[in-house]
Structure 1
Amino acid sequence: MTVPAPGTRTREFLDRSPHGLLIDGAFWPAADGRTFSTTDPATGAVLGELARAGAGDVDAAVAAARTALEGAAWTGTTPAERAKLLWRLADLLEADLQQLAELEVLDQGKNLRTARFGEVPAAINQFRYYSGWATKILGQTIPTSLSRTPVGREVLAYTRREPVGVVAAIVPWNSPLLMASMKLAPALAAGCTVVLKPAENTPLTAVRLAELVLEAGFPAGVVNVLTGYGHEAGQALAGHPGVDKVAFTGSTAVGKRLLRAAEGNLKRLTLELGGKSPAIVLPDADLTEAVEGISRGIFDNGGQVCVASSRVYAHRDVHDRLVEGMAAFGRGLRLGHGLDPEADLGPLVSTAQAERVEGYLREDGLEVVSGGRRSGALGTFVEPTVVTGVAQDHRIVREEVFGPVVTVTPYDDLDEVLAWANDSRYGLAASVWTQGFSSAHRVAHRIRSGTVWINCHSYLGPELPKGGHKESGWGYENGPQGLENYLETKTVVGLL
Structure 2
Amino acid sequence: MTVSVLGSKKWSGKFFTGDWVAASNTQEVMEPATGNVLSSVAMATTDDVYLACQRAKVAQKEWVKIPPREKSAIFHKAAMFMQDNFDELALYVARETGGAIPKGEHEIREAIIILQLAANMTLEPTGLTLPSVPERMSYATRKPIGVVGVISPFNFPMILSIRSIAPALATGNAVVTKPDPQTPVTGAFILALAFEAAGLPKNLFQVFPGAVEAGEAICTAPEIGMVAFTGSTAAGRKVGEVCGRNLKKVSLELGGKNSLIILEDADLDIAASNIAWGAYSHQGQICMAAGRILVQASIADALTAKVVEKAKHLPVGDPVSGQVALGPLINQRQLEKVHSIVQDSIAAGAKLEVGGTYDKLFYMPTVLSNVKPGMRSFNEEVFGPVVNIVTFDKDEEAVAMANDTEYGLAGAVISNNYARAERIASQLHVGLLHINDQTVNDECINPFGGAGASGNGSAVCGPASWDLYTHWQWTTVKNTATPYPF
Same structural fold, with TM-score higher than 0.5 when normalized by the shorter chain: yes
1:134, 1:189 within 8 Å by CA — same for their partners in 2? yes
> What is the deviation of 1:441?
1.7
Q: Which has the higher mean CA deviation after the structures are superposed, 266-275 or 358-367?
A: 358-367
- Give 1:21-60 correspondences, 5 Å limit: 21-23=15-17, 25-30=18-23, 33-60=24-51
Q: Which runs of 5+ in 2 are unaligned?
A: 480-486
Q: Structure 1, residues 271-323: CA drift from partner, whole Å, max 9, x if none?
A: 10010110000111122211111211110100000000110001112111221
Task: Give 1:228's match in structure 2, choosing from 210, 228, 231.
Answer: 210
Q: 1:278 to 1:488 in 2, by over 3 A?
A: same
Percent identity for Structure 1 against Structure 2: 32
Deviation string, structure 1 residues 77-100 (Cα, Å, up to 9, x no partner):
223332222222111112222222
Measured in 1, the distance between the counterparts of 2:283 and 2:60 equals: 39
Partner of 2:483: none
Return the TM-score normalized by structure 1. 0.92
SS of corresponding position for 2:4:
helix
Contact conserved, 2:11 with 2:20, CA < 8 A, in 1? no
Output the CA distance in 2 between the equivalents of 1:137 and 1:470.
33
For the residues of structure 1 that align with 2:414 and 2:189, how far apart are their CA atoms? 41
Deviation at 1:186, TM superposition (A): 1.3
1:486 to 444, 448, 469: 469
1:452 is matched with 433
Match of 1:332 among 313, 320, 325: 313
Name the SS for the 2:465 alignment partner.
helix
Worse-matched range after superposition: 421-430 or 182-191: 182-191
Amino acid at match of 2:355: G
Distance, in Å, in 2 between the alignment partners of 1:17 and 1:87 is 23
The answer to whether the aligner puts 1:12 opposite 2:12 as a matched pair is no
Alpha-carbon deviations, 1:402-429, whole Å to 9, x = none? Answer: 0001211111000111000001000100
Closer, same or farther: CA 95–252 of 1 in aligned 2, 3 Å:
same
The 5 Å alignment of 1:99-138 reads 99-116=88-105, 118-138=106-126
Taking the TM superposition and a 5 Å limit, the aligned residue runs for 1:30-179 are 30=23, 33-71=24-62, 74-116=63-105, 118-145=106-133, 154-179=135-160
Amino acid at match of 1:279: L
The 5-angstrom pairing of residues 73-472 of structure 1 reads: 74-116=63-105, 118-145=106-133, 154-205=135-186, 206-229=188-211, 231-363=212-344, 364=347, 365-375=349-359, 379-457=360-438, 458-472=440-454
Structure 1 residues 105-144: Cα deviation after superposition (integer angstroms, max 9, x where no partner) = 221111112212x222122211122322222233121222
Compared CA separation, residues 232 and 208, structure 1 to 2 (3 A):
same
Count of residue pairs brought into register by the alignment: 472
SS of alignment partner, residue 466 of structure 1: coil
Residue 177 of structure 2: SS of its match in structure 1?
strand
Q: Which amino acid aligns with 1:56?
A: D
How far off its partner does 1:336 sit?
1.1
Deviation at 1:8, TM superposition (A): 7.3
Q: What is the deviation of 1:161?
A: 0.6
Residues 27-64 of structure 1 show CA distances to partners (whole Å, capped at 9, x for unaligned) of: 1112xx11111001122211111211111210221012
Equivalent residue number for residue 4 of structure 1:
none
Q: Distance in 1 between matches of 2:305 and 2:3?
A: 43
User: How far apart are 1:232 and its partner, in Å?
Assistant: 2.2
**1:399 Cα deviation (Å)?**
0.9
Change (3 A) 1:91 1:284: same
Contact 1:139 1:161 (8 Å CA) reproduced: yes
> What is the CA–CA distance in structure 2 between the aligned matches of 1:464 and 1:169, rounded to whole Å?
19
Give the CA deviation at 1:10.
Answer: 7.0
* Mapped contact 1:316–1:411 kept (Cα < 8 A): yes
CA-atom RMSD, angstroms? 1.6
Moved more, 202-211 or 217-226: 202-211
Q: Which moved more, 1:81-90 or 1:199-208?
A: 81-90
**Whole-angstrom CA distance in 1 between matches of 2:392 and 2:246:** 49
Q: How far 1:249 sits from its partner (Å)?
A: 0.4
The answer for the alignment partner of 2:478 in structure 1 is 495
Per the alignment, residue 149 of structure 1 pairs with none
Uncovered stretches (5+) of structure 1, i.e. residues with no partner? 1-6, 146-152
Other structure's SS at 2:130 match: coil
Task: Quote how far apart the aligned CAs of 1:13 are.
Answer: 4.1
Output the CA distance in 1 between the equivalents of 2:307 and 2:67. Answer: 52
